[in-house]
């Protein structure tokens, strides 16, 4: 692995503190699930880890300022913290509440909303999910049609949201809903928070071809939502949604997650083999391996340059799109190669009980083939890579 | 990443280089210059020396400006943007970095003074056609017998040998009762037994093949000798490659910008080319390759200044193979997106393709560095 430049001594000391905390406090069963590349952690495991981080002075919400109960970290500290979580097989943060809704409320929420919603996110009491896509509105998000109609002090919601990750685990959903019309389809959209236990909400599980249940379709049939659950003003939803998506700067490329995956692949590649011919001694395999390693290094340095910047101002407004495209492309390459590294074993469909994984099988990185199939989602989700290219073309290059 | 003065210095160099090149080295001016001998403007060369550019790669111990790769890289990137071809890489970069390591005074100081002032051009004659980039297996010999040293062999790719006052020759040193090792000799082009063939390269540069037939070398012409010779040469080559990476990235940026501009002005089917999604996405891919290459350019510069030798080797090889490939791919895409106009000699875009192709071949092409990287990676146990 190519080394990356160190941060200042203070920040590197901070890194060690974080690392030590994870080593001492991350429960083994959770670490094992993450080390198997599993994204669909049970709610109980996510919440347990969230509360452990919470007890450490708000580490569960690394981007939150101190007066909302976060640690009040600098960009560099947040970056290093997320790196260490990834490299040490700790779960991803509870992104919807912690990374998205919380910071959105800092900016657009009323005082009442902040006091009502934020403490429950911080303490891991309420589990959030996000409702953007609809059956007929995928990449063309602004065409969304799930309606909210005014009725006294409430809105009445009718329609459905789809590809809703973790809706089956969640208590509440936030998302964009059609509240009116306008010349442009981006007008007449509102940002709303909805209690999933409300009458009229139905959640239908959707199984992805890899065989897990991560996403759902959420149906709304005459669901009544109090007006105080609108964030911002009605019609401001598109602006708020764009802001919310721009918040996820440090996560989209998953560079450090992919580095952790590469460490696992490295173990396979250099493992002693019968006949003395290790995987890495195969020139074609070695070349694919090395290419990924170089690409990942270039991406990591780009991430640091674009996100943390340096004193010569960088001017890539669409850095997050670039990082998402390349990050997910490289991630896919790693998972394909890891699966292929296992030869015949890659054909075996292992029962998805990670607690029973055998550590003595050198080819077993979770079920590498399942992971490969599962991670085909990443170039598609949160704005497909084609949409990301449209964004760069328009916003960065001025092509239209 | 916090050295303010270094950033300021980089900006100063960029500004001054861009002003200089905009003024002196327009595409039209360049076409004329590269087609006449010696392939660059000697007046511009003198001005470059006056601006202190020759001193940038040179250590302060010898009157240079310190040799910080971040600064050399900033300058080289500007050269790349303007397709600037001249003896800088061979003489002021490679030869300087090798000669600095010699311990033979006063010869060392004399030559470095000459290079720094622009008056002396020293061409490195390291490679040989039959070994491609593999310096360990060169065949040129410096044979010691009866107190005389005689050199025989054929070198290739001596950069700007056409204007060199001296050549820096890597040879296998043979002496009776001694283990074979390498020597690096400084040889005047005037010496008896030297025959040179000068070539124009596809990018308008110059390089020479040099034949040595019983060329007599004095002991005081040997700048390096023994085990340290090859590692020193390889270190200079790493340094050169970091600089080449910067030139390639500069060329990539310019190619990208001119293609973007072309798509925004050229109309077909009643629409600007920039409105076609198939083309937009190709531009985005070019843009992303530029960004990633820029990160690797900085990585290469950082590695030269702060990494240990093994790490330097890996990062430079990683950067060179990735950037050389990306630069070539972007240049091919740029020609394609210009359509038939891209094939015209009067358009700069094709000349960028020629430049990045040619530059990518120097001091180890992409495949060579890919191999180096892979071998180092396999040896590192984890």
pLDDT per residue as tens, chain A (400 positions): 788 899 999 999 999 999 999 999 999 999 988 988 888 899 999 999 999 999 999 999 999 999 999 999 999 999 999 999 999 999 999 999 999 999 999 999 999 999 999 999 999 999 999 999 999 999 999 999 999 999 999 999 999 999 999 999 999 999 999 999 889 999 999 999 999 999 999 999 999 998 889 999 999 999 999 999 999 999 999 999 999 988 876 677 899 999 999 998 998 899 888 788 899 999 999 999 999 999 999 999 999 998 887 645 555 778 889 999 999 999 999 999 999 998 887 888 775 554 444 445 544 556 788 889 999 999 999 889 999 999 999 999 999 9
Verify whether the Cβ–Cβ distance A310 to B381 is below 8 Å.
no
Whether residue A241 is found in the same domain as residue A260: no
Supply the CATH number for residue A284's domain: 1.20.140.10
CB-based contact B299 A298, cutoff 8 Å = yes
Q: Which of the two residues, B163 and A248, has the higher pLDDT score?
A: B163
User: 């001193």: which residue's tokens?
Assistant: B55
Q: What is the pLDDT of residue B139?
A: 97
The whole-number pLDDT of residue A364 equals: 56
Taking a C-beta distance cutoff of 8 angstroms, is the pair A136, A143 a contact? yes
Gyration radius from chain A CA atoms: 22
| Domain-embedded: residue A21 | yes
Q: Cβ distance A170 to A128 under 8 Å?
A: yes
A237 and A262 housed in the same domain: no
Cβ distance A94 to A48 under 8 Å? no
Q: Is B318 in contact with A294 (Cβ distance < 8 A)?
A: yes
Strand partners, A386: none
CA angle B263, B265, B269 (to 5 degrees): 80
Closest C-alpha among A337, A378, A101, A341 to residue A254: A378
Q: Which of B284, B292, B314 sits opposite A393 (nearest CB)?
A: B284
> Strand A230-231 to strand A189-195: parallel, antiparallel, or no bridges (unpaired)?
antiparallel
pLDDT for res A216: 97
Closest of B132, B33, B115 to residue B67, by C-alpha: B115
Question: Do the chains contact at B291 and A322, CB–CB below 8 Å?
Answer: yes
Q: Which domains does chain B have, with CATH numbers?
A: 4-121 (1.10.540.10), 123-225 (2.40.110.10), 230-379 (1.20.140.10)
A287:B288 CB<8 A: no
Nearest CA in chain A to B305: A5
* Nearest chain B residue to A394, by CA: B280
DSSP string covering B288-333: HHHHHHHHHHHHHHHHHHHS-HHHHHHHHHHHHHHHHHHHHHHHHH
What residue of A is the nearest CA neighbor of B373?
A290
Indicate whether A210 belongs to any domain.
yes
* Half-sphere exposure of residue A276: CA atoms within 13 angstroms, side-chain side: 0
Structure-token match 């905390």, residue found? A21
Residue of A285, A298, A305 to mutate when probing chain B, most B C-beta within 10 A: A298
Contacts with B83 (C-beta within 8 Å, 6 or more apart), sequence order = B25, B27, B30, B203, B204, B251, B254, B348, B351, B352, B355
CB B64, CB B2: distance < 8 Å: no
Same-domain status, A216 and A276: no
Q: Which residues of B touch A (CB under 8 A)?
A: 1-2, 4, 7, 10-11, 260, 263-264, 274-275, 277, 279-281, 283-285, 287-288, 291-296, 298-299, 302, 306-307, 311, 314-315, 318, 321-322, 370, 373-374, 377-378, 381-382
Q: Which residue of B has its CA nearest to A387?
A: B281
Identity of the residue in A289, A316, A398 whose CB atom sits nearest the CB atom of B291 = A316
Residues A271 and A368 in one domain: yes
Residue of B nearest to A323 (CA): B288
8 A C-beta contact, residue A91 and residue A46? yes
Q: Which residues of B touch A396 (CB under 8 A)?
A: 287
Q: Is residue A279 part of a domain?
A: yes
- Considering only CB atoms, A298 lies closest to which of B11, B274, B292, namely B292
In angstroms, the CA B283 to CA B290 distance is 10
Name the residue among A301, A326, A399 with its Cβ closest to that of B280.
Answer: A399
DSSP code at position A19: H
B320 to chain A: nearest residue by CA? A294
B374/A287 touch (CB, cutoff 8 Å), yes or no: yes
Of A210 and B285, the structure prediction assigns the larger pLDDT to B285
Please tell me the distance from the alpha carbon of residue B63 to that of residue B113, in angstroms, as a whole number.
8
Closest chain A residue to B1 measured between Cα atoms?
Answer: A310
pLDDT confidence of residue A36: 85
Which residue in A316, A397, A398, A400 has the most chain B C-beta atoms within 10 A of its own C-beta, making it the best mutation to test that interface? A397
What's the rounded Cα separation, in Å, for the pair B126 and B133?
9
Contact B324, A12 (CB under 8 A): no
d(CA A261, CA A334): 7
Query: Which of B4, B315, B374 is opposite residue A311, by nearest beta carbon?
Result: B4
Instruction: Report residue B1's pLDDT band, with 50, 70 and 90 as the boundaries.
Output: very low
What is the tens place of the pLDDT at every residue in B109-153?
Answer: 999 999 999 999 999 999 999 999 999 999 999 999 888 999 999
In this structure, the answer to whether residues A225 and A282 fall within a common structural domain is no
Q: Which of B1, B263, B377 sits opposite A399 (nearest CB)?
A: B263
Distance from CA of A4 to the nearest CA of B (A): 9
Q: Per the structure block, which two tokens stand in for A273?
A: 């083999």
The number of C-alpha atoms within 13 Å of B17 and in the hemisphere containing its C-beta is: 26
Indicate if the pLDDT at residue B348 is higher than 80: yes
Residue A1 belongs to a domain: no
Average pLDDT of span B334-358: 98
Q: Is B144 helix (H, G, I), strand (E, B) or coil?
A: strand
Nearest residue, CB atoms, B315 vs list A2, A389, A400? A2
Shared-domain flag, residues A272 and A374? yes
Q: Of A246, A265, A294, which closes a domain?
A: A246
Q: What's the CA gap between B342 and B278, in Å, rounded?
A: 18
Contact B159, B90 (CB under 8 A): yes
The C-alpha angle A250, A256, A262, rounded to 5 degrees, equals: 155
Quick one: pLDDT band at residue B310, thresholds 50, 70, 90? very high
Per-residue pLDDT at B129: 96
Is A239 a domain residue? yes
Query: Could you give the C-alpha distances from A6 to A2, A13, A227, B1, in angstroms and in order?
Result: 12, 11, 49, 10
| Distance separating alpha carbons of residues B350 and A379, to the nearest angstrom | 34
- Rounded to an integer, the average pLDDT of B304-324 is 95
Distance CA B34, CA B23 (A): 17
Distance from chain centroid for Cα B38: 18
| The length of chain B, given as a count of residues | 382
* C-beta atoms of B274 and A295 within 8 A: no
CB-nearest partner of A298 from B4, B284, B295? B295
Q: How many helices (H) and strands (E) does chain A have?
A: 13, 8
> Among candidates B209, B161, B170, B151, which has minimal Cα distance to B189?
B161
Chain A neighbors of B291, CB-CB under 8 A: 302, 306, 316, 322
Candidates B274, B285, B318; nearest CB to A2: B318
> Using the beta-carbon criterion (under 8 Å), do A283 and B374 form an inter-chain contact?
yes
Same domain, A354 and A271: yes
Is A50 inside a domain boundary? yes
In a domain, A105, yes or no: no
Size of the A and B interface in Cβ pairs below 8 Å: 108
Is residue A184 exposed (0-12), middle (13-18) or buried (19+ Cβ within 10 Å)?
exposed
- Cβ count near A119 (within 10 Å): 13
Nearest chain B CA: its distance from A385 CA (Å): 10
For residue B357 the two structure tokens come to 């192709």
Instruction: Quote the tokens at residue B154.
Output: 């054929």
For residue A50, the SS3 value is helix
Please give the structure tokens belonging to residue B239: 């340094």
Residue of B nearest to A279 (CA): B378
- Evaluate whether B123 touches B90 at the Cβ level (below 8 Å): yes
Which domain range does residue A222 map to?
A: 128-246
Q: B283, A393: Cβ pair inside 8 Å?
A: yes
A39 belongs to a structural domain: yes
Residues A391, A259: one domain? Answer: yes
**A241 and A135 housed in the same domain:** yes
Give Cβ neighbours of residue B194 (< 8 Å, ≥ 6 apart). Answer: B167, B187, B210, B211, B212, B213, B215
Indicate yes or no: CB of B275 within 8 angstroms of CB of A400: yes
How confident is the model at residue A39, as a pLDDT? 82
Percent of chain B residues past pLDDT 90, beyond the cut: 92
Question: Which among B373, B342, B76, B124 has a CA at the least distance from the CA of A289?
Answer: B373
A273 and A359 share one domain: yes
The reply to whether A266 and A381 lie within a common domain is yes
Question: Between B306 and A30, whose confidence is greater?
Answer: A30
Residues facing A204 on adjacent strands: A217
Please count the structural domains in chain A: 3
The single-letter DSSP state of residue A92 is: P
Whether A284 and A211 share a structural domain: no
Interchain pair A316, B1: CB under 8 A: no
Model pLDDT, residue A3: 87
**Would you call A399 and B275 a contact, using CB atoms and an 8 Å cutoff?**
yes
B289 by Cβ neighbours in 10 Å (0-12 / 13-18 / 19+) ranks as: buried
* Distant-in-sequence, close-in-space partners of B6: CB < 8 Å, separation ≥ 6: B68, B70, B71
Structure tokens at A49: 């880890």
User: Which band of pLDDT confidence, cut at 50, 70 and 90, is reported for residue B2?
Assistant: very low
CA of B48 to nearest chain A CA: how many angstroms apart? 26
Closest by CA to A273, choosing from A335, A362, A357, is A362
Report yes or no: B152 and B141 within 8 Å, Cβ to Cβ: yes
């Amino acid at each position: 692995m190519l080394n990356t430049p160190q941060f200042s001594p203070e920040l590197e000391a901070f890194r060690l503190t974080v690392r030590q905390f994870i080593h001492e406090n991350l429960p083994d069963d959770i670490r094992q699930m993450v080390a198997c590349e599993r994204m669909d952690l049970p709610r109980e495991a996510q919440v347990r880890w969230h509360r452990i981080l919470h007890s450490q002075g708000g580490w569960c919400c690394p981007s939150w300022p101190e007066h909302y109960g976060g640690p009040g970290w600098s960009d560099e500290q947040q970056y290093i913290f997320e790196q260490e979580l990834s490299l040490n097989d700790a779960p991803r943060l509870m992104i919807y509440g912690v990374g998205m809704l919380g910071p959105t409320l800092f900016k657009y929420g009323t005082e009442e909303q902040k006091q009502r919603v934020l403490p429950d996110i911080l303490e891991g009491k309420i589990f959030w999910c996000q409702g953007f896509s609809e059956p007929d509105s995928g990449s063309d998000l602004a065409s969304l049609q799930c309606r909210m109609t005014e009725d006294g002090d409430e809105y009445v919601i009718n329609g459905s949201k789809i590809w809703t990750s973790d809706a089956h685990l969640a208590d509440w959903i936030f998302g964009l809903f059609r509240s009116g019309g306008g010349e442009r389809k981006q007008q007449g959209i509102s940002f709303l928070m909805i209690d999933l236990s409300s009458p009229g909400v139905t959640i239908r599980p959707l199984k992805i071809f890899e065989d897990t249940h991560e996403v759902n379709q959420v149906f709304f049939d005459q669901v009544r939502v109090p007006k105080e659950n609108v964030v911002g003003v009605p019609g401001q939803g598109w602006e708020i949604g764009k802001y919310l998506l721009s918040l996820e700067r440090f996560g989209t490329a998953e560079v450090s997650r992919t580095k952790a995956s590469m460490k696992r692949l490295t173990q396979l590649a250099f493992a002693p083999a019968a006949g003395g011919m290790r995987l890495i001694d195969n020139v074609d395999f070695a070349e694919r391996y090395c290419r990924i390693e170089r690409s990942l290094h270039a991406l990591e340095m780009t991430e640091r340059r674009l996100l943390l910047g340096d004193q010569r101002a960088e001017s890539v407004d669409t850095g997050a799109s670039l990082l998402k495209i390349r990050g997910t492309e490289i991630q896919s390459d790693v998972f394909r190669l890891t699966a292929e590294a296992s030869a015949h074993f890659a054909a075996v469909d292992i029962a998805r009980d990670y607690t029973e994984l055998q550590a003595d099988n050198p080819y077993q990185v979770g079920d590498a083939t399942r992971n490969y199939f599962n991670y085909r989602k990443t170039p598609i989700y949160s704005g497909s890579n084609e949409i990301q290219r449209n964004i760069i073309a328009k916003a960065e290059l001025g092509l239209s | 990443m916090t050295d303010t003065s270094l950033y300021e210095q980089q900006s100063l160099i960029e500004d001054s280089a861009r002003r200089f090149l905009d003024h002196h080295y327009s595409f039209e001016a360049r076409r004329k210059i590269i087609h006449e001998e010696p392939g660059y403007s000697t007046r511009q060369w003198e001005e470059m020396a006056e601006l202190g550019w020759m001193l940038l790669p040179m250590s302060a111990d010898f009157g240079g400006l310190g040799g910080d790769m971040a600064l050399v890289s900033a300058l080289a990137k500007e050269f790349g943007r303007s397709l600037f071809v001249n003896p800088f890489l061979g003489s002021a970069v490679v030869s300087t970095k090798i000669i600095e390591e010699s311990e033979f005074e006063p010869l060392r100081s004399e030559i470095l003074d000459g290079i720094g002032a622009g008056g002396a051009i020293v061409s490195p004659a390291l490679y040989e056609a039959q070994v491609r980039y593999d310096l360990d297996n060169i065949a040129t010999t410096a044979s010691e017998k009866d107190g005389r040293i005689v050199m025989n062999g054929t070198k290739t790719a001596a950069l700007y040998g056409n204007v060199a006052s001296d050549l820096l020759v890597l040879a296998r040193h043979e002496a009776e009762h001694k283990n074979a090792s390498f020597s690096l000799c400084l040889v005047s082009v005037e010496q008896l037994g030297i025959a040179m063939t000068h070539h124009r390269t596809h990018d308008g540069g110059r390089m020479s093949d040099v034949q040595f037939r019983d060329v007599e070398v004095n002991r005081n012409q040997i700048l390096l000798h023994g085990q340290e010779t090859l590692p020193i040469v390889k270190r200079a080559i790493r340094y050169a490659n970091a600089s080449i990476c910067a030139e390639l990235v500069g060329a990539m940026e310019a190619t990208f910008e001119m293609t973007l501009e072309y798509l925004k002005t050229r109309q077909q089917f009643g629409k600007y080319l920039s409105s076609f999604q198939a083309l937009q996405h190709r531009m985005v891919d070019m843009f992303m390759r530029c960004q990633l290459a820029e990160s690797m350019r900085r990585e290469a510069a950082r590695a030269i200044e702060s990494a240990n030798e093994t790490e330097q080797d890996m990062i430079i090889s990683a950067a060179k193979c990735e950037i050389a490939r990306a630069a070539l791919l972007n240049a091919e895409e740029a020609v394609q997106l210009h359509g038939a106009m891209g094939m015209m000699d009067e358009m700069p875009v094709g000349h960028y393709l020629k430049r990045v192709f040619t530059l990518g071949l120097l001091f180890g092409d992409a495949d060579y560095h890919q191999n180096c990287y892979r071998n180092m990676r396999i040896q590192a146990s984890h």
